[in-house]
Amino acid sequence: MSRLPITKTPKVYVGGAFIRSESARVFPLRDAAGAFFAHIPQCTRKDLRNAIEAAAAAGPGWAKRTAYNRGQILYRLAEMLEARSAELAAALLVGVKATPRARAAAAREVAATIDRIIYYAGWADKYEQLLGSVNPVAAPYFNFTVTEPMGVVGVLAPATPALLGLASLLAPAIVSGNTVVALASESQPYPAILLGEMLATSDLPGGVVNLLTGFRRELVPTFATHTHLRALSGVATAGERRALRLGAAESVKRTRLRPAEDRIDWYAADAQSLAAVGDTLEYKTTWHPIGA
Amino acid sequence: MATFTLNPRRRGRPAPELIFGDLWPYDPAPETADPKLLARYGLFINGRFTPAKSGQVFDSINPATERKLAELARAGTADVNAAYAAAQRAFDTTWGRMPGRERAKYLFRIARLLQDRAREFAVAETMDGGKPIKESRDFDVPMAAAHFFYHAGWADKLDYVAPGRRVAPLGVVGQVIPWNFPLLMCAWKLAPALAMGNCVVLKPAETTSITALKLAEIIQDADLPPGVVNIVTGAGEVGAAVMGHRTAAKVAFTGSTEVGKSILRSLAGTDQKMTLELGGKAANIIFDDAPLDQAVEGVINGIFFNQGHVCCAGSRLLVQESIAGRVLAKLKQRLQVLRVGDPLDKNTDLGAINSREQLRKITALVKAGVREGAELYQPACVLPARGWYFRPTLFSGVTMSQRIAREEIFGPVLSILTFRTPEEAVEKANNTAYGLSAGVWTDKGARILKLATELKAGVVWANTYNKFDPASPFGGYKESGFGREGGRQGLLDYCRLA
């Protein structure tokens, strides 16, 4: 007699814990044939606010880690992904007809995601030397500009590529000490559920990355207006961009939104860059006196 | 060699004060250089001065005398369109295609011509805006020239601006600037935009447009290709037209947080690139080990520079409790010898308030401070009979919830609060929606660096205040805006990464 497998109850990773929505709402995820796969948490505005609180609490500690340490933790995250890459590729195929072509695409996406995390891990202790500066002012001061993380960054992942898009937005934000609350792809939420499990085993402190699943139309308004989010980064439709910017105006929140209508090549050479790290940094200039 | 030793009988007693009262009054020392003002200024479009298409004009008033200085053209939509069309044409045909080394030479020329006419510009700036001549002469005009000189040198070195990436100009940039540093803000906006290869449509503030138009004369003399810089004058609706124009590849604004937010809202439906340099409510923090006389001078400069019309003004003084009494006494003593009056007088410390409207705003906020229970101190100085003036003002016993501790007053009003520990100082300093600047006064270098790390502000001055340099990036955190002006980082806001 064959054994009935134990199916996993998907939970989102928030504040270092695996939770379901406070509302207890879920939505069904189906496979390509239309059969039931799992119930995904349908996170609410309250879940988002809780996640932002967790991210804000984790922020100062994470930003104070040494750059070397942050780099190693990101590298560790990549190790976790590499070890479970087959599982991640399978997650990308949920709801997709598993043709040889689709399988190859999923494997490629997982590989690119791991490489992307490695790329940003390496920036941790280097970007400051390129973005900051010592400034030759015409007065007796040691004048220097350093970067600082903005704080809590709201990330809106693209629908596809669900995993690579999410990682490409997360990694450059957290490498500099920001913390993130991200909304995963609405149509392909399962890879983000798995990514949460890998984040939990990567030495990344709880609350640094918080991943939510759910419906954009329910959560975008709170992403727009929540004043503890200091920046919004991600992919959004024209209507969403307008709503996000209108809400962001109230607290002069930084917005780095790319049009969902554009065909973004997440595999292109410029899909990863030092500039992306700079997108969630502030510049601070200090005038320190020189003299006895 | 003569040596001076402290009289042993004086030990432990305060040093004698040098307050002469009205014993030896100053003679007037007016600056007399000719500002070379015209009776009427047109808009500067496509390299030529031209009246508004509607023929409308408005008066520019000298705030020190309330007398009319000149008549300025009030731009309409058609004029703004013409300015953008000229700028786009210049970008497509001349400036956007010119090698950086050639653009550089134009900017060097502008810097030199401005230096040549420095005194004339300083007088014009003081008459137009009300700031003391010693500030326009020693700060505004030379610093404006320095910005052109600094950015000129970047024009052919843009490959070094963004590591690993090529940069390209954006196109036409729309810029709106405030009335507190009219010429200097012009330079801050124009120099990086032009160095990067952009063309510009700029709107100066309604009350202080004259030095921008005088700069247009220099731009003509420098033989800058027509349309590279266009200047349109008028009030808020002209600014809105410049900010919202479809031709603009980017807009940059310096002004109040309130207007900044309205720009953000009005452009929310577009993907317009923007930088905003907005208001501030900076904390100036004095620790008990600070060199007090130097700190008091710095606090005075921090809040009364340019009558306090400074977005980064040190308008909240946080002083360690153990020295609060001494600092307050020294500040009051210093206030008694501040000279308020004719901005053209070389001895004047505080000039005129820029406009009647601003005077009204300051007066209302000071009244609110008294009503909410803070203790007011103003020296008994005589203000001129005509013109808009306000006494330098201290509020002690201020609490964090009072309006004078939270709202930007943009006038010569200092709110004094106290703290006990460095942690409390940081918490109070950061407890504001703004984040433009901060000051720290202490003898400990390590403490300076710790506070510099923890203060949420774009610029931190240690044992100094209100220092600026073209090489030093300036700009805010939080609701003080985004983007930087000055330095390599400032150039990043005027290019796209290719």
ipTM confidence: 0.95
Question: How remote is the C-alpha of A270 from its chain's centroid?
Answer: 18
Cβ of B433 under 8 Å from any chain A Cβ? Answer: yes
> Which of A158, A156, A160 lies closest to A105 in space, CA to CA?
A160
Q: Is the pLDDT of residue B43 over 90?
A: yes
- Give the burial class of B49: count Cβ atoms within 10 A of its Cβ; 0-12 exposed, 13-18 middle, 19 or more buried: middle
Phi-psi region of B187 (alpha: psi -120 to 50; beta: other; left: phi over 0): alpha
The nearest CA of chain B is from the CA of A3 a distance in Å of 55
Confidence grade of residue B5 (pLDDT, cut at 50, 70, 90)? low
pTM above 0.90, yes or no: yes
Q: Is the pLDDT of residue B3 over 90?
A: no
Q: Residue A196 belongs to what H/E stretch?
A: helix A190-200
Whether residues A289 and B433 touch (CB distance < 8 A) is answered with no
Cβ of B477 under 8 Å from any chain A Cβ? Answer: yes
Confidence grade of residue B354 (pLDDT, cut at 50, 70, 90)? very high
Joined together, the tokens standing for residue B374 give 């803070």
CA distance B75 to B56: 8
DSSP state of A2: P
Whether residues B487 and A130 touch (CB distance < 8 A) is answered with no
Structural domains of chain A sorted by starting position, each given as residue range(s) with its CATH number in brackets: 12-265+273-289 (3.40.605.10)
What percentage of chain B carries pLDDT values higher than 70?
96
> Which of B252, B242, B187 lies closest to B214 in space, CA to CA?
B187
Q: Is the pLDDT of residue B473 over 70?
A: yes
Whether residues A246 and B163 touch (CB distance < 8 A) is answered with no
Joined together, the tokens standing for residue B292 give 């007090």
Cβ of B498 under 8 Å from any chain A Cβ? Answer: no
Phi-psi region of B12 (alpha: psi -120 to 50; beta: other; left: phi over 0): left
Cβ of B257 under 8 Å from any chain A Cβ? Answer: yes
Look at residue B41 in the predicted model and tell me its pLDDT: 98
CA distance B341 to B390: 9
Cβ of B474 under 8 Å from any chain A Cβ? Answer: yes
Instruction: Kindly list the domain boundaries of chain B, sorted by start residue.
Output: 40-278+478-497, 283-462
**Which entry of B199, B311, B312, B495 is annotated as an active-site residue?**
B311
Look at residue B1 in the predicted model and tell me its pLDDT: 44
Helix (H, G, I), strand (E, B) or coil at A148: strand
Q: Is the pLDDT of residue B21 over 90?
A: no
What percentage of chain A carries pLDDT values higher than 90?
99
Answer yes or no: are the C-beta atoms of B266 and B377 closer than 8 Å. Answer: no
Answer yes or no: are the C-beta atoms of A179 and A153 closer than 8 Å. Answer: yes
Helix (H, G, I), strand (E, B) or coil at A62: helix
Q: What is the pLDDT of residues B49-101, one digit of tens each?
A: 999 999 999 999 999 999 999 999 999 999 999 999 999 999 999 999 999 99
Mean pLDDT of A93-111: 96
Cβ of B220 under 8 Å from any chain A Cβ? Answer: no
Mean pLDDT of B195-216: 98
Q: Domain B283-462 is of which CATH architecture?
A: 3-Layer(aba) Sandwich (3.40)
Among A195-204, A222-231, B23-32, B131-140, which is the least confidently predicted range? Answer: B23-32
Q: How many CB atoms lie within 10 A of CB A105?
A: 16
Among B10-19, B134-143, B321-330, B387-396, which is the least confidently predicted range? Answer: B10-19
Confidence grade of residue B23 (pLDDT, cut at 50, 70, 90)? confident
Answer yes or no: are the C-beta atoms of B203 and B234 closer than 8 Å. Answer: yes
Joined together, the tokens standing for residue B131 give 């700031």
Q: Is the pLDDT of residue A259 over 80?
A: yes
- Look up tokens 């402290």; give the residue: B6
Mean pLDDT of B200-214: 98
- Give the burial class of B79: count Cβ atoms within 10 A of its Cβ; 0-12 exposed, 13-18 middle, 19 or more buried: buried
DSSP A86-137: HHHHHHHTTTS---HHHHHHHHHHHHHHHHHHHHHHHHTTTHHHHH-EEE--
Q: Is the pLDDT of residue B495 over 70?
A: yes
Mean pLDDT of B170-197: 98
Q: Write the residue in B257, B478, B484 that is nearest to A283 by C-beta.
A: B484
The nearest CA of chain A is from the CA of B444 a distance in Å of 11
> Which of B337, B273, B272 lies closest to B304 in space, CA to CA?
B337
- B487 to A28, B163, B275: CA distances (angstroms): 53, 15, 15
Mean pLDDT of chain B: 95
Q: Whole-angstrom distance between the N-terminal and C-terminal Cα of chain A?
A: 86
Mean pLDDT of chain A: 97
Q: Is the pLDDT of residue B20 over 80?
A: no
Answer yes or no: are the C-beta atoms of B376 and B366 closer than 8 Å. Answer: yes
Q: Residue B479: list chain A partners with CB under 8 A.
A: 251-252
CA distance B187 to A67: 37
Q: Is the pLDDT of residue B10 over 70?
A: no
Question: How remote is the C-alpha of A171 from its chain's centroid?
Answer: 6
Look at residue B26 in the predicted model and tell me its pLDDT: 83
According to CATH, the superfamily of the domain at B40-278+478-497 is Aldehyde Dehydrogenase; Chain A, domain 1 (3.40.605.10)
Q: Could you give the angle at the alpha carbon of B405 between the alpha carbons of B131 and B183, nearest 5°?
A: 25
CA distance B493 to A13: 36
Q: Phi and psi for B61 in degrees, rounded to 5?
A: -105, 140
B321 is catalytic: no
Q: Could you give the angle at the alpha carbon of A190 between the alpha carbons of A188 and A192, nearest 5°?
A: 95
Q: Residue A273: list chain B partners with CB under 8 A.
A: 164-165, 497
Q: Write the residue in B164, B269, B475 that is nearest to A274 by C-beta.
A: B164
Mean pLDDT of B210-233: 98
Q: Write the residue in A241, A248, A252 that is nearest to B278 by C-beta.
A: A252
Cis bond upstream, residue A221 (ω within 30): no
B277 is catalytic: yes
Whether residues B445 and A288 touch (CB distance < 8 A) is answered with yes
Answer yes or no: are the C-beta atoms of B439 and B483 closer than 8 Å. Answer: no
Q: Write the residue in B162, B264, B487 that is nearest to A245 by C-beta.
A: B264
Confidence grade of residue B9 (pLDDT, cut at 50, 70, 90)? low
CA distance A277 to A283: 12
CA distance A181 to B187: 40
Q: How many CB atoms lie within 10 A of CB B13?
A: 8
Q: Is the pLDDT of residue B401 over 60?
A: yes
Q: Residue B311: list chain A partners with CB under 8 A.
A: none
Q: How many CB atoms lie within 10 A of CB A289?
A: 15
Confidence grade of residue B7 (pLDDT, cut at 50, 70, 90)? low
Confidence grade of residue B230 (pLDDT, cut at 50, 70, 90)? very high
Q: Phi and psi for B450 in degrees, rounded to 5?
A: -65, -45
Q: Is the pLDDT of residue B204 over 80?
A: yes
Q: Phi and psi for B273 in degrees, rounded to 5?
A: -75, 145
Q: What is the pLDDT of residues A143-186, one digit of tens each?
A: 999 999 999 999 999 999 999 999 999 999 999 999 999 999 99
Q: Is the pLDDT of residue B12 over 70?
A: no
Q: Is the pLDDT of residue B2 over 60?
A: no
**Which entry of B135, B206, B277, B479 is annotated as an active-site residue?**
B277
Cβ of B464 under 8 Å from any chain A Cβ? Answer: yes
Helix (H, G, I), strand (E, B) or coil at A225: helix
Q: Residue B164: list chain A partners with CB under 8 A.
A: 273-274
What's the per-residue H, E or C state across chain B?
CCCCCCCHHHCCCCCCCCCCCCCCCCCCCECCCCCCCCCEECEEECCEEECCCCCCEEEEEECCCCEEEEEEECCCHHHHHHHHHHHHHHHHHCHHHCCHHHHHHHHHHHHHHHHHCHHHHHHHHHHHHCCCHHHHHHHHHHHHHHHHHHHHCCCCCHHHCCCCCCEEECCEEEEECCCCCHHHHHHHHHHHHHHCCCEEEEECCCCCCHHHHHHHHHHHHCCCCCCCEEECCCCHHHHHHHHCCCCCCEEEEECCHHHHHHHHHHCCCCCCEEEEECCCCCEEEECCCCCHHHHHHHHHHHHHHHHHCCCCCCCEEEEEHHHHHHHHHHHHHHHHCCCECCCCECCCCECCCCCHHHHHHHHHHHHHHHHCCCEEECCCCCCCCCCCCCCCEEEECCCCCCHHHHCCCCCCEEEEEEECCHHHHHHHHHCCCCCCEEEEECCCHHHHHHHHHHCCCCEEEECCCCCCCCCCCECCCHHHEECCECHHHHHHHHEEEC
Task: Decide whether B40-278+478-497 matches B283-462 in CATH topology.
Answer: no
* Bridge partners for B251 per DSSP: B174, B274
Whether residues B462 and A288 touch (CB distance < 8 A) is answered with yes
Whether residues B474 and A285 touch (CB distance < 8 A) is answered with yes
